[in-house]
Amino acid sequence: MIVKRLREKQNWSQKQLATLSGLSTRTIQRIESGNKASLESLKSLASVFEIDISKLQEEIIVIDKTSNDGNKEPVIEKLAFLRCL
């Protein structure tokens, strides 16, 4: 993943990158593992690495924390649940 490559190029540990970016070490681990990242996290990382955020967005899926769409259950599952009541 791009974040891991950039971090290793700087000879930084995950903890050092977390400190520099203001993110948690666990967030760095998740992003490096290929999980989704918030736009805010990518902005922080782009700033630390002094690169354009679009470079990170090429490889990392961005999640929208302002939307609840990711938390919504499909309607069919809600209907099935209501039947049980």
Taking residues 69-79, report their average pLDDT.
46
DSSP-derived secondary structure letter, 33:
T
Separation CA 65–CA 40 (nearest Å): 9
User: Mean per-residue pLDDT for 12-20?
Assistant: 97
Among candidates 69, 60, 15, 18, which has minimal Cα distance to 39? 60
Render pLDDT for 29-48 as a digit per residue (tens, 0 to 9): 999 999 999 999 999 999 99
pTM, two decimals, is 0.73
Give the whole-angstrom CA distance, residue 26 versus residue 74: 29
**Cα-only R_g, the chain:** 17
pLDDT of 64 reads 72
Architecture of domain 2-84: Orthogonal Bundle (1.10)
- The rounded Cα 41 to chain-centroid distance in angstroms is 6
Helix, strand or coil for residue 62? strand
